[in-house]
Copies of this chain bind each other. A is one copy, B any other.
Amino acid sequence: MARHEKISISVIRRLPRYYRFLGDLSRNGVLRISSKELSARMGLTASQIRQDLNCFGGFGQQGYGYNVDALHAEIGSILGISKIFPAIIVGAGNIGRAIAMNIGFENMGFKLTGIFDSSPDVIGMEIRGISVIDVSQLETFCKAHKPKIAVITVPQQAAPDIVDRLIKLGIESFWNFSHFDIAFNYPGIVVENVHLGDSLMTLCYMTNNLSALAAHQPQKTEK
């Protein structure tokens, strides 16, 4: 892992896209791809792609392009998705349930082991074979099952208390759908935020500025 330590977060954020796209190519029987083709598909420049992949030691051969399966496997290994971290979801409302049902945790380095809520309406409900547990049982469950990450899908006002309890229970990694700013309040904790509202407001800006943005198409969908 040592050679990956200095990689910038913007390179890291592109890796899942490479991984996903190379997986599609592989399923379609494509064996090799040039950085030029990869760049056209990913909306990046070919030199950006070569730079990104060089961070990890480079996998291309001049004039031959990249071996799709080898690069796919290597990026998967860099992302670390073959190790499986136990994960829990706290908040079994609409968003929490949709995530539990639609996200392939197992293919992305995690296994969903528990779902929690405080509402009697959902406690006991089965979601993807997992029965929703009363959030008052969080401490007991975490001490027994030692989840590594928590998905936070509780309402804004409940988030600070829940996150505080989880951090005391040793959780160091959060997939945060709430607007509670975990990273600011707990430095040293790993947080990946999903702010759907921010994304929608960005779309609003882009929709308002369609003509001005048309010239910048490749950057537009970049995360």
Contacts and interface: CB of A to CB of B under 8 A. Distances in A.
B93 A183 contact: no
Q: How large is the interface on A (under 10, 10 to 19, 20 to 34, 35 or more residues)?
A: 35 or more
Given A5-B212, A181-B41, A207-B173, A191 B221 contact: yes
A203 B217 contact: no
Contacts of A207: 80, 85, 109, 148-149, 172-173, 190
Contacts of A165: none
A194 interface: yes
Contacts of A190: 203, 206-207, 210, 213, 220
A98 interface: yes
Contacts of A4: 209, 212
A199 B172 contact: no
Given A41-B184, A209-B1, A110 B219 contact: no
Contacts of A13: 198, 202
B221 A183 contact: yes
Contacts of A8: 219
Contacts of A123: none
A143 interface: no
A108 interface: yes
A1 B211 CA distance: 11
A110 B200 contact: yes
Contact of A214 (B12, B188, B196): B188
Nearest to A190: B206
Contacts of A222: 9
B183 A79 contact: no
Contacts of A209: 1, 4-5, 80
A175 interface: yes
11 contacts: A1-B209, A4-B209, A16-B195, A19-B201, A80-B208, A80-B209, A104-B197, A108-B200, A191-B220, A192-B200, A193-B221
